[in-house]
Amino acid sequence: MFKQYQIKNYDFRLILYVLAITMIGISVIGSAQKSVQGRQVFGLLLGLFLMVAFSLIDYSFLLRFSWLIYIFNLGLLGLITFHIMGDDAGGAVRWIDVGGVRFQPSELSKILLILFFAWFFGKYAEKLNTLRVIVSSGILIFIPWFMVEDQPDLSTSIVIAVIFLSLLYLGGLSYKIIIGALAVLLPAAALFIYLIMQPGQQILEYYQWKRIMSWLQPGKYASDVFQQQNSIMAIGSGQLWGKGLNNDTAFSVKNGNFIPEPQTDFIFAVAGEELGFVGAAVILGLLLLIVLECIWVGRKAKDLSGKLICGGVATWIGFQTFVNICVVTGMMPNTGLPLPFVSYGLTSLVSLFIGIGLVLNVGLQPLKYHMEGFYT
């Protein structure tokens, strides 16, 4: 379970990036909604503890319990799916409240599924391109994916799907299968887009359909696109250096309450307005460095499972960042995804720190030491 690691293999650079981006996030959250800043600080402290703990537990030991991890994940999601427990928020039941402590199982599901499929694809690496393994993995991901989508939480279900596909690719999926799948999926995607554009469509929930239509036709659905339009205005108004954190200027989009719940999914709009282009660039730069560092650690992993853990965490952070920035800048429909390490949300923050802890553990067991029999 625990090994005698060498301190020189501990990736302090990755820790520095994560701490820096989280501290910036806490500062911006305090400016957006002072009342929740203390809880985000608590999330940072809890996340740090769990990050260190998971960084010192051999991930190979954790992967021995992969089926228990998978079943535990289904159990948490099932509490909501089967209405055993669940707390309504914004018309969707995505939260579990235990003794006043609220957490979101779908956020924790991301790292749990990364662990499970890192083991699964690692175990069946030589048979990955067989129909049996592909179909089996498809069934295994569909069950939790459906439970998340049914909450409804389409945005998180998309993230889970992208993470799964990235793990499948990194696991060694044949290019012939990828090309064949694209030949089918691209026309299917075009047909899907055509169908949801039709009046009276029954494929998407009404609110999901309206978000897409308000993005495509903002003039017609002006009342549903104001959040994104105000976000763009806020980011642009920050100019180079921004208006400053906690400013009280009357010309602030945030101070005018033109962005509902700015501390969550639209936190980047607050950062753009108050920290300007420079502050926004620092945030994006740190997130990029975290993704690249996870990839770098994965390249030196002792086995395929370690590589997949790092690749899964990198995909999770990178894709979610990309979608969030596209949403707040109006390049995509509103999806409701938080900006990693920056947006307010304890479950999201703690889950990310657990993911970073696992990456750190992979880095503590580089391939060269494993091959030389460094550990006894």
CA distance 278 to 295: 26
Residue type, position 269, single letter: A
* Model pLDDT for residues 297-343, shown as the tens digit of each residue: 999 999 999 999 999 999 999 999 999 999 999 888 888 899 999 99
Q: Which residue in 347, 327, 346, 22 sits closest to 158, CA to CA?
A: 327
CA dihedral 337, 341, 345, 346 (to 10 degrees): 140
Whole-angstrom distance, CA of residue 65 vs CA of residue 86: 27
Angle made by CA atoms 351, 153, 267, in degrees to the nearest 5? 60
pLDDT category at 62 given cuts 50, 70, 90 is very high
Largest CA distance in the chain: 68
Decide if pLDDT at 375 tops 50. Answer: no
The confidence score (pLDDT) of residue 368 equals: 63
Q: Smallest Cα–Cα separation from 155: which of 373, 320, 345, 352?
A: 320
SS3 assignment, position 331: coil
pLDDT at 374 over 50: no
Averaged pLDDT score across all residues of the chain = 88
Name the pLDDT band for 27 (thresholds 50, 70, 90). Answer: very high
Token pair for 4: 């005698």
Beta-strand pair 92-98/87-89: antiparallel
Contact call for residues 106 and 152 (beta carbons, < 8 A): no
Cis peptide before 105, with omega less than 30 degrees from 0? no
| Cα torsion angle, 259, 263, 264, 266, sign | positive
pLDDT higher than threshold 50 for residue 159: yes
Tell me the per-residue pLDDT of 223-279, one tens digit each, with 9 for 90 and over.
667 788 888 888 988 899 988 888 877 667 777 677 778 888 999 999 999 999 999
Give alpha helix (H) positions in the chain.
Answer: 12-32, 37-56, 59-63, 66-81, 105-123, 131-149, 154-170, 175-196, 206-216, 222-237, 267-299, 304-328, 346-363, 367-371
What residue has token string 């409701």? 336
The answer to whether residue 372 scores a pLDDT higher than 60 is no
Q: State phi, psi for 185 to the nearest 5 degrees.
A: -70, -35
Q: pLDDT tens digits, residue range 77-93?
A: 998 888 777 666 555 66
Q: What is the pLDDT of residue 42?
A: 95
